[in-house]
Amino acid sequence: MRKKSSAPTMKDVAQEAGVALGTVSKVINGIPVGESYRIRVEAAISKLHYQVNSYAQGLKANKTYTVAVLIPNTKDPYFARLTNLINLSLTKRKYRMLLCCTDSDLSFEQEYITMAQQNKVDGIIGLTYNPNLLINPETPFVSIDRIMGANIPCVTCDNFMGGQLAAEKLADLGCRNVAFLRTGSSLTNEPNKRKAGFENGCLARNLHYETKILEDDDLIEEFETFLRERMQNGRLEFDGIFCSTDLLAYRIIQLLSKLSVKVPEDVQIIGFDGVRLFGDLDYICSTIVQPVSDIAEMCVQILLQDTLTARPPLICLPVSYAAGGTTKEPPERPESLSG
Amino acid sequence: MRKKSSAPTMKDVAQEAGVALGTVSKVINGIPVGESYRIRVEAAISKLHYQVNSYAQGLKANKTYTVAVLIPNTKDPYFARLTNLINLSLTKRKYRMLLCCTDSDLSFEQEYITMAQQNKVDGIIGLTYNPNLLINPETPFVSIDRIMGANIPCVTCDNFMGGQLAAEKLADLGCRNVAFLRTGSSLTNEPNKRKAGFENGCLARNLHYETKILEDDDLIEEFETFLRERMQNGRLEFDGIFCSTDLLAYRIIQLLSKLSVKVPEDVQIIGFDGVRLFGDLDYICSTIVQPVSDIAEMCVQILLQDTLTARPPLICLPVSYAAGGTTKEPPERPESLSG
């Protein structure tokens, strides 16, 4: 019989629940176990008034219960939402989050990697465009949207499928002559697959297509030249445009308004990301929606999982399509605004 | 003469710059000093290749160089921008930021306060709606938008002036009969002064006004009833509406569209916050712009300043007005999009 005088331990919980010690540990650390096991462990925790002493745990396991998150900024709505959801996933597991917005200085990223190597944080979740970043394969690091090297898992949405879905939707909506527009870095990153997926979809559905890619975000006026050259008698030759992000879609819609081309009447537009006004109101345009909540949860789960478990190199999570007023279906409205 | 063999110290920098040691310390910690002093110290730092050893500093001063930031979430664009700017202000001073999104569970806030009391973080910057939060006046805590108690500085924008400015703008734009709409908590917080400022502005400019306040964010349909009751023969009796936030302004504009009331032709709308699409593109509506960057910088400065310096109880930073297409001037466009 266990002594009644001291606080209950994890062993007491395991005994009470009739499960292995490892199962209790998994439940406490938010690692999935069978539903019936979870319920038994939680009942035992509750019955014995067992309290997780995360500070003592930290000392014992040399854990800090702190994870660093590297993200370009939080003012971009996609990054803002991702940061929020990673924060919730970590908090749910009693982990703290160090946030580092890296836009202003990429050199901060290397500092956080050093911290992870010195066990000052338990690991890093990073969305980085830094080509010079050096990550030791031993460093607990989960990358978002970019493959960083062997043994560093990358979590992303299924960008290829997203591109293909955009082509299919435009075809379904009656388009015959479409364009793909993209700005940004030519670094080998996962979002670059959006183009290949789109081309694949166009070929499969017999859509005529053209692509225009600008390396520099600031050269948006080159798109104006591109579009002007494809106008005859005030009519744009494209009837559909797929933009690599919602932000680009928004800027292209502004450009088209200047050229007196009507959206969606003259040309239908699909963006990528699923950005919503004020975080969860209307979509800004018709869009391929990233599963942000699943991406956040997956990053945290993989980072914190048992280090002996093999780490998957690339995880692609499914995307979906949402009408947002720039294609010829009625826009989807969030439930809270309907009626 | 100082020894050339060892790394330069802060004393060496002071000697080189011909200033007091305290002045060097202030420059290193980002505390304002006279411009000429700052330049001399920075020149000396550069000449001697002096490097701040923040880890050693931390050990010496019992500092963690970590600040916790409590914010409801980062998906709301105002919170997202504020978080980003606080992060930059902290990083600039070599501080790390622990982020805690509190929407999901207000009890996390109390945990961070305990951490601050136990010197596990150097202090907290918090935007909280938690009426039960207990903060010891000794805890380094800077509050945003809500007065939390004696010796806890509160940083906010000049909400009263913002309300007044909205009334003045509507008067300048030809309105005669206006309304103030607000949702949300009745907690005594600084943003509640927007109403008083607006009423003051209406009285000063002889505007007829009415106010409608809903305690619950989810009861937006009550505004529909309110507005419907103020329509005659398809015309709304108000020619101007001031909404307590841009989010509310956006939802009211949607409501008005349903009622076939045109914005800005039939009724001009001004919101509050200065939210921009994608963080820094167009304003979502005409708006009273919060000085988010100054708020972030001020919070960090006050939190990290010498503890012997008196802490100001309430700091109100100036707001400005920006046309955003829901009033009868041409909307202001960010420079990058012009031309």
Q: Do B80 and A74 touch (CB under 8 A)?
A: yes
Could you tell me if B106 lies within 8 Å of chain A, comparing CB atoms?
no
**Inter-axis angle of helices B77-92 and B292-304, to 10 degrees?**
40
**Which residues, at least 6 apart from B121, have a Cβ–Cβ distance to it below 8 Å?**
B64, B66, B67, B68, B98, B112, B115
Tell me which residue has tokens 């001004």.
B270
Q: What is the DSSP string of A181-239?
A: EEES--S--GGGHHHHHHHHHHHHTT-EEEEEEES-TT-THHHHHHHHTTEETTEES-S
Alpha-carbon gap, residue B147 to B325, rounded angstroms: 34
Answer positive or negative: Cα dihedral of A133, A138, A141, A144: positive
Could you tell me if A284 lies within 8 Å of chain B, comparing CB atoms?
yes
Could you tell me if B333 lies within 8 Å of chain A, comparing CB atoms?
no
A85 within 8 A of A297, measured Cβ to Cβ: yes
Phi-psi region of B173 (alpha: psi -120 to 50; beta: other; left: phi over 0): alpha
Could you tell me if B99 lies within 8 Å of chain A, comparing CB atoms?
yes
What's the pLDDT score for residue B4?
Answer: 45
What was the ipTM of the complex prediction? 0.72
A76 contact residues in B (CB cutoff 8 A): 278-279
Tell me which residue has tokens 């914010």.
B71
A134 within 8 A of A114, measured Cβ to Cβ: no
B171 within 8 A of B204, measured Cβ to Cβ: no
Tell me which residue has tokens 């910057």.
B125
**Which residues, at least 6 apart from B86, have a Cβ–Cβ distance to it below 8 Å?**
B69, B97, B125, B296, B299, B300
* Cis status, amide bond into A264, omega within 30 of 0: yes
Structural domains in chain A plus CATH codes:
10-52 (1.10.260.40), 63-157+293-317 (3.40.50.2300), 159-290 (3.40.50.2300)
B144 within 8 A of B125, measured Cβ to Cβ: yes
Higher pLDDT, A338 or A163: A163
B101 contact residues in A (CB cutoff 8 A): 84, 87-88, 91
* Cis status, amide bond into B330, omega within 30 of 0: no
Could you tell me if A334 lies within 8 Å of chain B, comparing CB atoms?
no
Q: Render each residue's pLDDT in chain B as its tens digit; 339 residues.
A: 444 446 777 888 889 999 888 888 777 766 678 888 888 888 888 888 776 654 344 444 578 899 999 999 999 999 999 999 999 999 999 999 999 999 877 778 888 888 888 888 999 999 988 877 888 877 889 999 988 877 789 999 999 999 999 999 999 999 999 999 998 766 667 888 899 899 999 999 999 999 999 887 667 889 999 999 999 998 999 999 999 999 999 999 999 999 999 999 999 999 999 999 999 899 999 999 999 999 999 999 999 987 666 778 889 999 999 999 999 987 776 654 433
A67 within 8 A of A262, measured Cβ to Cβ: no
Percent of chain A with pLDDT over 90: 55
Answer positive or negative: Cα dihedral of B42, B48, B54, B57: negative
Paired strand residues for B265: none
Q: pLDDT tens across A41-98, in order?
A: 888 888 887 766 543 444 445 788 999 999 999 999 999 999 999 999 999 999 999 9
H/E run at residue B112: helix B107-117
DSSP state of B303: H
Cα dihedral B303, B308, B313, B318, rounded to 10, equals -60
* Cβ neighbours around A272 below 10 Å, total: 30
* Cβ neighbours around A136 below 10 Å, total: 13
Alpha-carbon gap, residue B145 to B82, rounded angstroms: 12
Å from B318 to nearest chain A CA? 22
B275 contact residues in A (CB cutoff 8 A): 278
Could you tell me if B284 lies within 8 Å of chain A, comparing CB atoms?
yes
Question: A90 to chain B: nearest residue by CA?
Answer: B100
Residue A310 pLDDT greater than 50, yes or no: yes
Q: Span A168-189, mean pLDDT?
A: 88
Could you tell me if A216 lies within 8 Å of chain B, comparing CB atoms?
no
Alpha-carbon gap, residue B183 to B207, rounded angstroms: 22
3-state secondary structure B157-201: ECHHHHHHHHHHHHHHCCCCEEEEEEECCCCCCHHHHHHHHHHHH
Residue A1 pLDDT greater than 60, yes or no: no
Alpha-carbon gap, residue B245 to B194, rounded angstroms: 10
Residue A133 pLDDT greater than 90, yes or no: no
Residue type, B336: S
Alpha-carbon gap, residue B239 to B223, rounded angstroms: 16
What's the pLDDT score for residue B338?
Answer: 39
The terminus-to-terminus CA distance of chain B in angstroms comes to 60
Residue A39 pLDDT greater than 90, yes or no: no
Question: A84 to chain B: nearest residue by CA?
Answer: B74
**Which residues, at least 6 apart from A172, have a Cβ–Cβ distance to it below 8 Å?**
none
Question: A106 to chain B: nearest residue by CA?
Answer: B91
Paired strand residues for B224: none
Q: Do A98 and B277 touch (CB under 8 A)?
A: no
CA distances from B91 to A143, A183, B85 (A): 22, 29, 10
* Cβ neighbours around B252 below 10 Å, total: 24
B322 within 8 A of B86, measured Cβ to Cβ: no
Q: pLDDT tens across A252-296, in order?
A: 999 999 999 999 999 999 999 999 999 989 999 999 999 999 999
Q: Do A247 and B278 touch (CB under 8 A)?
A: yes
Query: What are φ and ψ of residue A213, in 5° steps?
Result: -125, 125
Sheet (strand A96-101) strand order = A314-317, A154-157, A141-144, A123-126, A66-71, A96-101, B96-101, B66-71, B123-126, B141-144, B154-157, B314-317
Pick the closest to residue A194 from A220, A161, A146 (CA basis): A161
